[in-house]
Amino acid sequence: MSAAPPPEALVQNGVQVDDTFAEAFPMKATRLVITAHNLTWARHAAVSATGFATSVIGCGCEAAIERELGPDETPDGRPGLSVLIFSMSGKELAKQVERRVGQCVMTCPTTAVFAGIAEGEAIALGKNLRFFGDGWQMSKVIDGIRYWRVPVMDGEFVAQETTAVVKGVGGGNLLLLCTDTDSALAIAEAAALAMKALPNVILPFPGGVVRSGSKVGSKYAALSASTNDAFCPGLHGLLASSELTPRTRCVMEIVIDGLTEADVGAAMRVGMIAGIALGAAGGLLRISAGNYGGKLGPFHFHLHKLLDGGAAP
């Protein structure tokens, strides 16, 4: 028999939801709109531009595709995608945007790129990339917004001069504790799919899911983060502080970045609901979250409050 849940735990559809919170921190963010001759090429550019962008721990930014856009939703009337890019500072975000757009969007056939957020601190988008035109670049101002036209071999690359940087929230998270790998993947995929349907959020890890969850610090001085050993099934019985039971053989984490605190809270809520819908019968034993006692960031997303319908505390 499994141990009874602690009295402070909430149980829904056989799933224990811990009375804990996910701890998130302030970030800087921007949205880019990437269009192309068709959606296939817009997606090629967006996938490339958001590659190697899972964690600021080692990537400099966190980025992913937000959603597809129809021709009626883009500045040039072509199909496209919106992407969100988050970083720890506006300076680093500007560096990441320029490199990724220059190497992954300008190089991709038929693409153009535009700002997806109008209000905020301006950083360069096409402002510096225009120099690739080697003096042949031209600008045009429409409704007070400057665009650059850079000659390239399939015609021209159009880029809005700047994009806006706004405050964002990074590091919202859910820990999904499951009976086995198949169940964990199914639960995580369902939760990620529900979250991705919401606007203003991204799940930056591959497929929206991370198996190498981390904690702050390490026994090795050179590392700022290391494996979240308390949630590693292979260490159960070896680690006094293990959070797991013998039944828990696989844990998946979902990390959420959003433009506002409410956006992250809403995503966490629908993710939990999707997992609970599959329930214990689907292999989900418990939902928890990562925090460091409130020392990492000022945004605290309490799981019980979110399930009660609150967007964020």
Element (DSSP H or E) covering residue 233: none
User: Domain boundary residue among 102, 136, 166?
Assistant: 166
User: What pLDDT score does 3 carry?
Assistant: 54
Nearest-angstrom CA–CA distance, 278 and 203? 21
Domain that holds residue 47: 28-166
Q: Are residues 151 and 236 in the same domain?
A: no
pTM score, two decimals?
Answer: 0.94
Residue 70 backbone dihedrals phi, psi, to 5 degrees: -80, 165
Query: How is 41-94 classified by DSSP, letter by letter?
Result: HHHHHHHHHTSS-S-TTTSS-EEEEEEEE-GGGSTTSS-EEEEEEEESSHHHHH
How do beta strands 214-216 and 138-142 pair?
Answer: unpaired
Question: Residue 117 belongs to a domain with what CATH number?
Answer: 3.30.70.520
- Counted domains in the chain: 2
Q: Are residues 259 and 300 in the same domain?
A: yes
* pLDDT tens, position by position, 293-302: 887 899 999 9
Q: Are residues 209 and 151 in the same domain?
A: no
User: What pLDDT score does 1 carry?
Assistant: 41
In a domain, 193, yes or no: yes
In a domain, 5, yes or no: no
Which residues does the chain have with pLDDT short of 70? 1-8, 310-313
Q: Are residues 99 and 225 in the same domain?
A: no
User: What pLDDT score does 17 carry?
Assistant: 98
In a domain, 4, yes or no: no
User: What pLDDT score does 6 carry?
Assistant: 61
In a domain, 3, yes or no: no
